[in-house]
Structure 1
Amino acid sequence: MILGACAVNERETAENDGVYKKSGNTMNRDDRHDLYNRSNNDQNYGFVREVKSPVPGKTADIGRSDALDREKTASIISKMTVALPNVLDSSVVVTDAEVLISYKLSETDSKTRFETADQVKKTAMSVVPRWYHVYVTDDPALKQNVENIGSIDPYTSNKDNTVKDTIRLMKESSPQGRKVSETENENGESREDRIINSR
């Protein structure tokens, strides 16, 4: 009986033109300043509701503006990283599939290195989409490598090799923290990811 009432309520909500248009358009709360953002400040939650288009075969219209803002994401990760204990400095690069983080430690014993690597990695993973892989290093010699990647043009011919080489050096010289899960390694790579990346 309760489930039936919920279904009726959901159907009424879906039919309500104030919630979404039947054309499949999205209602974004930031577009309705008169109803939702009375104070018009950054304290509001973001809210979007997507509804599958009633027109068969019509796909979602995803434009460049919908993509992840890599520079803003790198800035957020960097600020969160330097807020961690023992981290004095942080350089972050966000590519289309990886996050590379170089940081400076206040203490360099092996236990601190391992725990900090785990914290830094988890901090980055909390910000980016789950399919991203995160690589960290506290090796001062690799800081410049990470910063150089940040200045590479996305259309540079051998940028992928540069990123791969830096990732390999980061994994060789620095702890990466704990495994993410039973099926993923320390960097969030599954077995299939590792096979693809080794090619």
Structure 2
Amino acid sequence: MKKMISALAISGILLSACGGNDQQIADNDSVYKKSGNTMNQTDRNDLYNESNDNQNYGFVRQVKNPVPGESTNINAGDVITREQLANQISKLTVGLPDVNDSSVVVTDAEVLIAYQADTSDERSRAQVADQVKKTAESAVPKWFGIYVTDDPALRQNVENIASMTPNQANTDKAVKDTVKMMKENSPQGRNDTKMNQ
């Protein structure tokens, strides 16, 4: 009988120790964040990348804040600005094989790209325009109008728009006029139906 009571006591102690350990793991911020903050892959790189090579995927996990009435804080640094988008698109564009120079303006609804490329004929010119446009499409929401030009004269128009503010009187007209000239003077890339033929 004493052996059975001691075995039950030892089992009870072991089970309570395991239960406490599970609670400690659940409360540990580095494994699961109950605070409503983000859990980034790079916070716990060892959990996701056993090989620890530096080729990380982008991963973010959001957990709803468990406290009623409190919301997750969004910092000003969490928002992508038009300047950051323009920078990203410009870097991606000059990474294309035939593009040597790229000026990008991002407005509220348009992306205007003036680029200089090594093209020898109209066909290669159209292909580069298509690549530049698709590169920009990969970086911005679908509702943005994307317009491209390889006309050196229009580069100055794009750069002039960059120095304007959205509240200036002629900004909308300057954007519309530049878009119109870009469409008239430069290939705008192939549309999806032509690409599939």
User: What TM-score comes out, normalization by structure 2 length?
Assistant: 0.65
Aligned position for 2:83: 71
Aligned: 1:117 with 2:160? no
Aligned position for 2:170: 158
State the shift of 1:63 in Å. 4.7
What's the C-alpha RMSD, in Å, of the aligned pairs? 3.1
**Superposition map of 1:115-194 within 5 A:** 115-180=127-192
- Where is the helix percentage greater, Structure 1 or Structure 2? 2
In the aligned structure 1, how far is the partner of 2:73 from the partner of 2:184?
42
In the aligned structure 2, how far is the partner of 1:175 from the partner of 1:82?
18
Q: Which amino acid aligns with 1:99?
A: V
Give 5+ residue unaligned stretches, structure 1: 1-15, 183-199
**Superposition map of 1:33-112 within 5 A:** 35-36=44-45, 44-52=56-64, 61-112=73-124
Aligned: 1:20 with 2:65? no
State the shift of 1:56 in Å. 7.7
Q: 1:140 to 1:29 in 2, by over 3 A?
A: same
State the shift of 1:89 in Å. 1.8
For 1:177, what is the secondary structure of its paired residue?
Answer: coil
CA offsets 1:100-157 (integer angstroms, 9 cap, x no match): 1101232252111211110111111122233322110111111100111112224323
Q: Which amino acid aligns with 2:32?
A: V
Aligned position for 1:191: none
For 2:126, what is the secondary structure of its paired residue?
Answer: helix
For 1:107, what is the secondary structure of its paired residue?
Answer: coil
| Number of equivalenced pairs | 160
State the shift of 1:62 in Å. 4.2
Give 5+ residue unaligned stretches, structure 2: 1-25, 47-53
CA contact (8 A) 2:36 2:62 kept: yes
Q: What is the identity percentage for the equivalent residue pairs of Structure 1 and Structure 2?
A: 58
Q: Which amino acid aligns with 2:179?
A: I
